[in-house]
C-alpha cells in the first residue's frame, strides 16, 4: 500500500488553485469562511472540495473538525484547522448505528463548537473578517450557535436534492401511514415521491426509529432557517427536484456540483488509497473491468460476502474489488474468502483495502461500477461515464439507485435482498457484455458531457458558483 498523493503532488494541485485564486483575492478583500464537516468520509470529501473551490475564489479557509475521523491537515496546508473535543466514548465512535452517532455528535459538540467559534471570531478581529459559517446540514445546532454571534450560516447537504426532499417528506408520509414500513408494502409506489417505491424510502436501520424522525425534522427546520443551501449536484440532473426544493425550502439555493471536478483530485481520504491497483488496471483492456466498492460504511454478512465472491468469479469478467477492513463486521480483511478463491481468480481480479476511487473510475480500463450508490460514488461514476450495478444498502443510497436505474437509466438494479451468486452473475453480464449495458454506457457518457458543460463558463453550476461567491461577499 502506498500513500495516495505525494507532498509534491499536493503542492502542485495547490499551486494550480493559487493561480486561479490570485485573480480573486483582491476582489474578495481577504474574507474568511469557516467550514464544519460531519466526520464521515462521504461528508468530509465534498466539504474539503468545497473549501478548495472557495479558496480558489479568494476566500481564506478555516475548518473546524471533531477529533473523531479528523481530516489530515498536511494534505491541505493552505487551510487552518481547528480540532474540537467531541467527547465521544470508545463505543460511541462507531458508524454501526449512524442515527445514534449523528444524534450523540449533535448533542456533545454544541459547547465545544461554540467555544471554538468564539475563539476564532476573537482571533479574526486582528485578521480577515469572517464572512459566514458553512455547516454540514446534519449538524442541526450550528445555525443557532452562529446566530448568537451574528454570523450567517449556509448549510451544505451532501446528498442529492431528490433524496433530501424524500427525507423532508417523512412527517407527511408518517401521517399517511407509511411508517413503520411493512414488508407487505415494499413493492408499492409512493405516489407523493414518484417513481420511488416503499422499499426505496431513505430509512436507516437503527435501534431508535423515533430518533431518526426527530433528526430529520431538526435538519429540515435548520435548513429552512439558514441563509442558504449548497448542493453537490447540478441542474441538468435534478431540474424537477430543484424547482420543488425552492417551494419547500424558500431560501437561496446554490447547486454548484459536482465539486470534485473543479480541481485535480485532492485527497481527503481517511484511509490510505492503494495506488497499486492503477498499475493493475493499466494491464487490462478498455472498458473491461468491473470496479466493486460499497463505500466507507455499508457492511455485508459473511454469507453475502461469499455470494459476492462467487458471483464475481462466475461472471468471468475482470474485477477490482475494494474489501474495506470491517466490510464484514468482525473480520480483519479478506480472510472469509473461499479456499482457493484467489488462485481460481488469478490475474483476472485484484483486491484492495481502499482505492483511489476517482482515478479508478477515470481509468480507461474501468467499464462498470458495482456500487452502493452513496451520492459521492454516484456522482463520481456519472462524471467518468461509467455505468453502474446499483446495490443500495440504506438511506439516500436507495433513492439514488432508483434514479440511476429507472430515471436516468444508467445502471441496473440489484435488489438488496438478492445478494445471490446467480443474480450477481446475471447483473454483471448484463452490464459488461450485453446490449442493455452498452445502452446504459451511451446514456451515461452523454450525461458526462452535460457535467462538463455545466461547469464550463456560463454553465449552470458555474453561474450558481458566481452567485454563491457574491452572496458570501454580501454578508
Question: Does residue number 355 form part of the binding site for ligand UDP (CB under 6 A)?
Answer: yes
Q: Which is nearer to ligand UDP, 318 or 374 (CB)?
A: 374
Q: Which is nearer to ligand UDP, 163 or 315 (CB)?
A: 163
Question: Does residue number 376 form part of the binding site for ligand UDP (CB under 6 A)?
Answer: yes
Q: Binding ligand UDP by CB under 6 A: which of 380, 425, 431, 441? A: 380
Question: Does residue number 389 form part of the binding site for ligand UDP (CB under 6 A)?
Answer: no
| Least distance from ligand UDP to the Cβ atom of residue 312, Å | 16
| Least distance from ligand UDP to the Cβ atom of residue 326, Å | 12
Beta strands in 120-202 (DSSP E): 130-136, 153-157
The whole-angstrom separation of Cα 252 and Cα 356 is: 34
Site residues (CB under 6 A) for ligand UDP, limited to 38-77: 40-42, 45
Stretch that binds ligand UDP, among 14-22, 293-301, 303-311, 381-389 (CB under 6 A): 293-301
User: In which element (H, E) is residue 64 found?
Assistant: strand 60-66
* Residue that has been written with the C-alpha cell 460531519 in this structure: 38
The whole-angstrom separation of Cα 378 and Cα 23 is: 33
Q: Which is nearer to ligand UDP, 270 or 473 (CB)?
A: 270
Interhelix angle 41-56/375-383, nearest 10 degrees: 60
Q: Binding ligand UDP by CB under 6 A: which of 52, 153, 233, 273? A: 273
The whole-angstrom separation of Cα 175 and Cα 49 is: 38
Q: Binding ligand UDP by CB under 6 A: which of 133, 219, 322, 440? A: 322
| Least distance from ligand UDP to the Cβ atom of residue 360, Å | 8
| Least distance from ligand UDP to the Cβ atom of residue 293, Å | 5
Q: Which is nearer to ligand UDP, 36 or 354 (CB)?
A: 354
- In eight-state DSSP terms, residue 326 is T
Binding map of ligand UDP across residues 231-270, x = CB under 6 A, - = no contact: --------------------------------------x-
Q: Binding ligand UDP by CB under 6 A: which of 153, 358, 366, 469? A: 358
Question: Does residue number 334 form part of the binding site for ligand UDP (CB under 6 A)?
Answer: no
The whole-angstrom separation of Cα 281 and Cα 363 is: 7
Tally of CB atoms within 10 A around 110:
15
Stretch that binds ligand UDP, among 109-117, 148-156, 339-347, 372-380 (CB under 6 A): 372-380
Q: Which residue's Cβ lies closest to ligand UDP?
A: 42
Strands lying side by side in the sheet with 153-157:
80-84, 60-66, 32-36, 130-136, 153-157, 228-231, 253-255
Q: Which residues bind ligand UDP (CB under 6 A)?
A: 40-42, 45, 269, 273, 293, 295-297, 322, 354-355, 357-358, 374-377, 380
Amino acid at each position: 500500500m502506498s500513500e495516495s498523493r505525494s507532498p509534491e503532488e499536493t503542492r502542485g494541485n495547490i499551486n494550480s488553485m493559487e493561480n486561479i485564486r490570485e485573480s480573486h483575492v483582491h476582489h474578495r478583500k481577504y474574507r474568511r469562511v469557516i467550514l464544519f464537516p460531519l466526520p464521515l468520509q462521504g461528508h468530509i470529501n465534498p466539504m474539503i472540495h468545497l473549501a478548495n473551490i472557495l479558496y480558489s475564489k479568494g476566500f481564506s479557509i478555516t475548518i473546524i473538525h471533531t477529533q473523531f475521523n479528523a481530516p489530515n491537515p498536511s494534505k491541505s496546508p493552505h487551510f487552518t484547522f481547528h480540532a474540537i473535543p467531541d467527547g465521544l466514548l470508545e463505543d460511541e465512535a462507531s458508524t454501526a448505528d449512524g442515527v445514534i452517532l449523528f444524534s450523540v455528535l449533535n448533542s456533545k459538540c454544541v459547547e465545544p463548537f461554540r467555544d471554538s467559534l468564539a475563539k476564532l471570531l476573537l482571533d479574526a478581529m486582528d485578521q480577515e473578517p469572517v464572512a459566514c459559517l458553512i455547516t454540514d446540514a446534519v449538524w442541526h445546532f450550528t445555525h443557532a450557535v452562529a446566530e448568537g454571534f451574528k454570523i450567517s450560516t449556509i448549510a451544505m447537504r451532501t446528498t442529492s436534492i431528490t433524496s433530501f426532499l424524500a427525507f423532508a417528506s417523512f412527517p407527511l408520509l408518517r401521517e399517511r401511514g407509511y411508517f413503520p414500513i411493512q414488508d407487505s408494502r415494499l413493492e408499492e409506489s409512493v405516489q407523493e415521491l414518484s417513481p420511488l417505491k416503499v422499499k426505496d424510502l431513505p430509512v436507516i436501520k437503527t435501534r431508535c426509529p423515533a430518533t431518526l424522525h426527530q433528526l430529520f425534522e431538526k435538519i429540515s427546520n435548520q435548513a429552512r432557517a439558514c441563509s442558504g443551501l449548497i448542493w453537490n449536484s447540478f441542474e441538468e440532473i435534478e431540474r424537477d427536484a430543484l424547482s420543488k426544493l425552492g417551494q419547500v425550502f424558500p431560501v437561496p439555493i446554490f447547486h454548484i456540483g459536482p465539486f470534485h471536478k473543479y480541481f485535480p483530485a485532492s485527497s481527503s481520504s481517511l484511509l490510505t488509497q492503494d495506488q497499486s491497483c492503477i498499475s493493475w488496471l493499466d494491464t487490462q483492456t478498455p472498458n473491461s473491468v468491473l470496479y466493486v466498492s460499497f463505500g466507507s460504511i455499508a457492511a455485508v454478512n459473511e454469507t453475502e460476502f461469499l455470494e459476492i465472491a462467487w458471483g464475481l468469479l462466475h461472471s468471468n469478467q475482470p474485477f477490482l474489488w475494494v474489501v474495506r477492513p470491517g466490510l464484514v463486521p468482525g473480520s480483519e480483511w479478506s480472510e472469509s474468502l473461499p479456499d482457493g478463491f484467489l488462485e481460481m481468480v488469478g490475474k483476472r481480479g485484484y483486491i484492495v483495502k481502499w482505492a483511489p476511487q476517482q482515478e479508478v473510475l477515470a481509468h480507461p480500463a474501468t467499464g462498470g461500477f458495482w456500487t452502493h450508490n452513496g451520492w459521492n460514488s454516484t456522482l463520481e461514476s456519472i462524471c467518468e461515464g461509467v455505468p453502474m450495478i446499483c446495490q443500495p444498502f440504506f438511506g439516500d443510497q436507495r433513492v439514488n439507485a432508483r434514479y440511476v436505474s429507472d430515471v436516468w437509466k444508467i445502471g441496473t438494479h440489484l435488489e438488496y435482498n438478492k445478494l445471490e451468486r446467480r443474480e450477481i452473475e446475471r447483473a454483471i453480464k448484463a452490464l459488461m457484455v450485453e446490449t442493455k449495458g452498452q445502452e446504459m454506457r451511451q446514456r451515461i457518457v452523454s450525461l458526462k458531457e452535460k457535467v462538463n458543460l455545466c461547469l464550463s463558463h456560463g454553465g449552470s453550476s458555474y453561474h450558481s458558483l458566481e452567485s454563491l461567491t457574491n452572496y458570501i461577499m454580501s454578508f
